[in-house]
Structures are given as structure tokens and as C-alpha cells.
Structure 1
Amino acid sequence: MSAVTVDAVCQLLAQWAPLKLAESWDNVGLLVGDRAREIRRVLTCLTLTPDVAAEAVDQQADLIVTHHPIPFRPLPRINCDSITGEILWRLIGAKIAVYSAHTAFDSAAEGINQSWAELLGLQAVRPISDPSASDPSASDPSAENNLGSGRYGLLESEAPAREVIRRCAALVQSTSPPRGVGPLDQPVTKVGFACGSGGSFVAQAARCGCQLLVTGEASFHDCLEAESRGMALGLLGHFHSERFAMERLAVRIGEALPTLTVWPSRAESDPVQMI
């Protein structure tokens, strides 16, 4: 069996989460590394922190697939004067490549938001907003491809918003209690999901007729808007709304490329603690 290269994994990930789906402000694709390099060990994570970088070096990873890109914004220099620079310097020294699909993976047909719709058993699932990509094929109506930002659909049976939010937290084995905004005892059938920092989807979800929007985190003003619109809002925490998908992605990469050793970071944890 032929050796697997960094590029082979990049191409596979781009099939699952086409980079044209990424938001215009995002930084996606191969961010660090040599496409031609042969690899054996791949680590997935939600965020590439110093602890995750140390794990990658210690465990001799060749490629890190991170959800949140690093660097996210352009860097005028790479040195150890900043946390980002220190992480990149260490990874470059160890010849560890870095790939991120970020918002492309959020929006993909088999991405994070679609995974949430399936976990909740939603029916008639649609994106909350259309793809931002300018490529007409991204929104080809004949494809029935379910591409776009966020997801919403119908529960099999109505349930109080509070119960649905708790169910979401349990599905990903969240260690932190979720929070809620608005009419939490209201029975809901149409539920939306926007992973990560999804508060900006409040107005769009309301226009889609959602009675509940579940996300990772939202600003105070997004919470006020949801409340004013009479729509419930569930906050799972950014980490818990997305980390499970990177664990699943590790399994999927390993199944597609069985010569690789692939694992989700064991050093990563939610930085927000209950006190």
C-alpha cells in the first residue's frame, strides 16, 4: 500500500468539507507544512493550544487537523513573543503540518451543524442561511446538498425548549450545565443549531420560524434579541458544541486511510470551568 502524504489527507478533508464553503473572513486549508511529505500519525483537535502542540510533538504527530485555524489572522512575523508564534515555531521545528477547514466544516453536508441535526433526529433539515461561496455549484438546487450555515428542522415530537437544550448537552456528554434564554418552558418543534459562536444567527433563525436556537455561545445583545423575538436560545458552551465533531473526524480519517494512526487530542479540555 502506497504511503500517505499530507496532500492526500488535505484532499480527503476538502472532499468532506469543500473549502469554498468557508466564510470570506476565514483562514482555511493547509496552513503549515509540506504537501509532499509522507505521514503516519494524525491528531485532531478543536483548538491548537500550547498543550495540544506539546502533545503533538511528544506523540510524534505528522499532521494536526484543527477546527480553529492557526494562524487565524495574518502574522507579520513568527517568533516566540506571542502564544501563536510560539506554537507555530515549535510545530515548524518538529515538521508538523497544520490543516483547518473551520467554517467550511461547520457548513458542509456532513459537517458539524448537520451532525447536530442528525443527533437530534431533526426532519426536513435545511440550512439557516445559504452558502457564502460565490461558486454557483455551491448552491445548486438540483444537488439537494444541504450546504450552508447552521441547520434547522423539525423534532419528531414537540418538547419544552429547556428539555431539548438539556438533551443536546447530554448527547455530547457535556460536563458543564447548559444555559438558556427566553421562553424555556415553551413547547417547540422547529429547532435550529449553529455551532460555536452562533449568536449572530438569532435573526435568521427567527425568520426561518425556529422556536429554539441552540449554539455554543452568544453575546449579551444576541441573548436580548432572542428574548425580544420570543425565541428560546440554548447555550452549550463553545467547546461542547464542536469538540465532539473533531473526535468523530478522527475516526472517519482513520477509517478512510487505515495505514494512519489517528486520534483526537487527549490534552484538550474546555477552558471554561464551573466554580
Structure 2
Amino acid sequence: MSIKAREIIKYMEELAPKSLAEDYDNVGLLVGNRESLIERILVCLDVNSKTVDEAISKKADLIISHHPVIFKGIKRINEDDPKGSIIYRLIKNDIGVYSAHTNLDVAHGGVNNYLSSLLGLTDISNLKDYKAEKLYKIVVFVPHDNVDAVRDAMSRVGAGWIGNYSDCSFMTAGTGTFRPLEGTNPYIGATGNLEKVDEYRLETVVSQKDLKKAIEAMIKVHPYEEVAYDIYPLEINGKQYGMGNVGVLESPKSLEEFIAVVKEKLNVKNVRVIGGIGKKIGKVAVFCGSFDREVMEAAKSKADVLVTGDVKYHDAMDMLEMGMCVIDAGHFNTERIIADRLVELIKENFPQVEVMKSNLEEDPFKIC
């Protein structure tokens, strides 16, 4: 069995909205056709010559990667250029690539959330606030007999969610007026006559990512030929997305004990440690991939230790001066974990598709 690529893309962009990506990033469908039929998917961290070979040998139609296959400007696509050769072979073998990068890092249920859970953290919150979900209010005028159907339709696609409450709305009774003109097919009334109808003003809140779906669902079930509705941008925000996470261990551990947990959960033999020898660990900050100085102060004030990757020498010196404790488990190790989770999620949502995790990927750095 197969499914259109656009269905997979739709799911991925609900999981990790593209609007969450950093401005410098390049996410989405980077190679391929949204209308392609997908039977097999390969999930990986990086799209390189090995993973492309693997995708070809396993007859994958789509690669879902964390790191974008096209990141910086490309001047040529040919077999003589390392990056061009990869893209050339993807196109030649009709393999699409969808990449979810910094948007997947910060998404709820994304890389940082999954890393936090894997390390046994609870009470997980944002390490540093990043972006807030923009909210809108939809106001639509509906005949009394149809108001429940319209509200239910919008709620089923994401409108009316406030915290852990669904189907949130407000209704005010009133009178609507209209005059059907020539060429119309009114649900109520006759051409040329002024009609007065008992209606409800139905209003609800919806996030930016669900706005289009809510409008389409509302119009589909609304009985009127021309639907009267308004959209108001709100000053208040919805979900707050963060750079990194911070959480609490079930019980405090020595630094040495916690390092053992990190090694076990990330399946690594060695990590780099900055400061904190002999320290008790209760609160843990995580920041997947490459360390970013923007979270340094937050990690210092909110956590006993920071788990991250790719810490530079001068940043490490500053961390020591600040009295921080940091575990550098590597870029590869702190992000490759999301491949397992993506395989699970895609299998759950698309059982008709074969989903495989790459088994050829490895950390480019070797401990000798």
C-alpha cells in the first residue's frame, strides 16, 4: 500500500510547524514531489552518501531527516561535487527528502522534549523562551439550529483549545439580516425580500497553524451560501516554545551517577565534562545538538547540570569561570535519538507505509 507524500508532509508540519524554524534554517520538502506515492520511508539524522545508498538499497521513496540536505547555497548539482552528487542521486532514483530541523528541536514532543524524557526528567519546562504560538479569534454568525454542528466542526480541527480544555466557545443570541439578490440560492428566505433570522454570534480561539483548517471546516458545515465571519488577531499568546528544556530527576544523583545515566540512555562510551566534580544533581537542563551561548545564563540559574553537545573551548572556559557543570555528549548523540521516536510516530499514524531507521549512521568523531 502507499500514500501521497503530501499526507506525510502534513503530519510532519503538525508535529513540528515550519514557523518554529530559525530564520537561517531550511526545512520542509527539499527534494521531491508532494504528489509522489510513498511506500517506504527511511528516517535518519543526516542525508549523506551512506544514507542515500541505504535508501536506494531498501527501495525507500522518501527520506525524513533531521539535518537539511540543502542548507547553504548550492551552485551545482553534478556527480563531481560532494553535495551535488547526493542530490543528483536522490533525483535520479526518485527519492524525496523532507527535513525537520530547528523546528523539530523546539516542538512539543520534539528533540529536546524527547531527550529530557529519555534522561528521566519530570516537570519539564522551557530552558529559555523562544517563540509563542499566535492566536486568533474566529467569530461566525450561525442560525440557532446549526450552531452545534459549526462549533463541533471547528473544534475537531483544533479550534477552541485553551490549556487542557477543548470545545471552548461563547455564543450570543441576536438577529441577522440579509436580502438575497438575483442569482443567489438562499438557505432561508426569497429573492428580493429582506430577511430577519434568529442567529448566534459564535466565537472561539484558534492557533495560527489551525486557522485555515478551522475556517474550511466552518464553511463546509455552515448552511448559508455566503458565510459571515470575522478573524481577529489576539495580543495574548498560546503555547510557548523554548530553546532547550529543564527538568527534575526523580531523586538526586551524584555527577558520576548521572554521567552513567547519560552514557546508557544515549548509548555512548565517553562524554566530555566541564566542572562540577563531586556535585549533586537534581535539576537538569538539556540543549540538543550544538551548544548555543544564548542559553548559558538560563542553564546556570535553573539547573545543576547542562547536557548538550559541541561545546567550544572558549565557551568551556567561560562555563568554568561561571561555576557551571556541563556534560558534552556530542551533537550526533543528543540528536540521533529522535530517529527512533519519528519511526514510532510515523508507523502509528501511517500503518500502510513501511518505516525504517537508518542503521548505517555513525558519529563522525572517533575516540582513539
User: How big is each residue's C-alpha offset from its partner over 1:20-74, in whole Å with a ceiling of 9 and x where there is no partner?
Assistant: 1111111001101000111100000011110111111111110000110011112
Aligned counterpart, 1:81: 80
Q: Partner of 1:68: helix, strand, or coil?
A: coil
Moved over 6 A (4+): none
* Contact kept in structure 1, 2:290 and 2:308, CA below 8 Å: yes
CA distance in 2 between counterparts of 1:207 and 1:15 reads 33
Asked if 1:163 is matched to 2:257, the reply is yes
The 1-side partners of 2:125 and 2:319 are apart by: 20
Alpha-carbon offset, residue 131 of structure 1 = 2.5
Q: For the pair shown, which has the larger CA radius of gyration, 1 or 2?
A: 2
Aligned residue runs from structure 1 range 71-220, under 5 A: 71-132=70-131, 135=134, 143=238, 145=239, 147-174=241-268, 176-206=269-299, 208-220=301-313
Q: By percentage of residues, which structure has more strand?
A: 2
Letter in 2 for 1:250: V
User: For the residues of structure 2 that align with 1:200 and 1:179, how far apart are their CA atoms?
Assistant: 17
How far residue 161 of structure 1 moved from its aligned partner, in angstroms, is 2.7
Task: Write the mapping of 1:18-97 to structure 2, written as runs, cut at 5 A.
Answer: 18-97=17-96
Amino acid at match of 2:254: P
Change (3 A) 1:219 1:135: farther
Once residues 134 and 245 of structure 1 are traced to their aligned partners in structure 2, the CA distance between those partners, rounded to angstroms, is 23
Mean CA deviation greater in 238-247 or 198-207? 198-207
Cα distance between partner residues in 2 of 1:135 and 1:74: 31
RMSD of Structure 2 on Structure 1 (CA):
2.1
TM-score norm. by structure 1 comes to 0.91
Alpha carbons 1:126, 1:146 under 8 Å: kept: no
Unaligned runs of 5+ in 2: 136-206, 209-234
Q: Distance in 2 between matches of 1:38 and 1:202?
A: 42
* % identical aligned pairs: 36
Deviations 1:181-239 (A, max 9, x none): 01132112221000110243552433542221101221111211211111100011211
Question: Are the counterparts in 1 of residues 44 and 64 from structure 2 also a CA contact under 8 Å?
Answer: yes
When structure 1 is superposed on structure 2, of 126-135 and 20-29 the one drifting more is: 126-135
Alignment partner of 1:234 out of 327, 333, 350 = 327
> Per the alignment, do residues 141 and 263 of structure 1 end up closer, same or farther by CA in structure 2, a change over 3 Å counting?
farther
Aligned residue identity for 1:251? E
Deviation of 1:120 after TM superposition, in Å, equals 2.5
Residues in 2 aligned to 1:183 and 1:223: alpha-carbon distance in whole angstroms: 13
2: CA distance between counterparts of 1:220 and 1:120? Answer: 26
Paired AA for residue 76 in structure 2: R
Cα distance in structure 2, aligned partners of 1:15 and 1:263: 21
CA distance in 1, matches of 2:33, 2:13: 17
Q: Which amino acid aligns with 2:21?
A: A
Structure-2 separation of matches of 1:259 and 1:252: 13
Q: Is the 8 A contact 1:129 1:148 kept in 2?
A: yes
Q: Which moved more, 1:27-36 or 1:263-272?
A: 263-272
Letter matched to residue 20 of structure 2? L
Q: Give the distance between the partners of 1:22 and 1:133, measured in 2 at CA.
A: 12
**Residue range with higher mean Cα deviation, 222-231 or 86-95:** 222-231
Give the whole-Å Cα distance in 2 for the aligned partners of 1:64 and 1:167: 31
1:253 aligns with 2:252: no
Cα distance in 2, alignment partners of residues 213 and 147 from structure 1? 19
- Provide closer, same or farther for how the CA distance between residues 56 and 69 of structure 1 changes in structure 2, counting only shifts above 3 A: same
For residues 350 and 108 of structure 2, what CA distance do their matches in structure 1 show?
21
- Residues in 1 aligned to 2:320 and 2:248: alpha-carbon distance in whole angstroms: 21
TM-score (norm 2): 0.69
Give the match's secondary structure for 2:309.
strand
Deviations 1:114-136 (A, max 9, x none): 01221233232211222247856
Unaligned runs of 5+ in 1: none
The code of the aligned residue for 2:285 comes to G
Q: 1:65-108 CA deviation, whole Å, 9 max, x = no partner?
A: 01100111121222223211110000011110001111111111
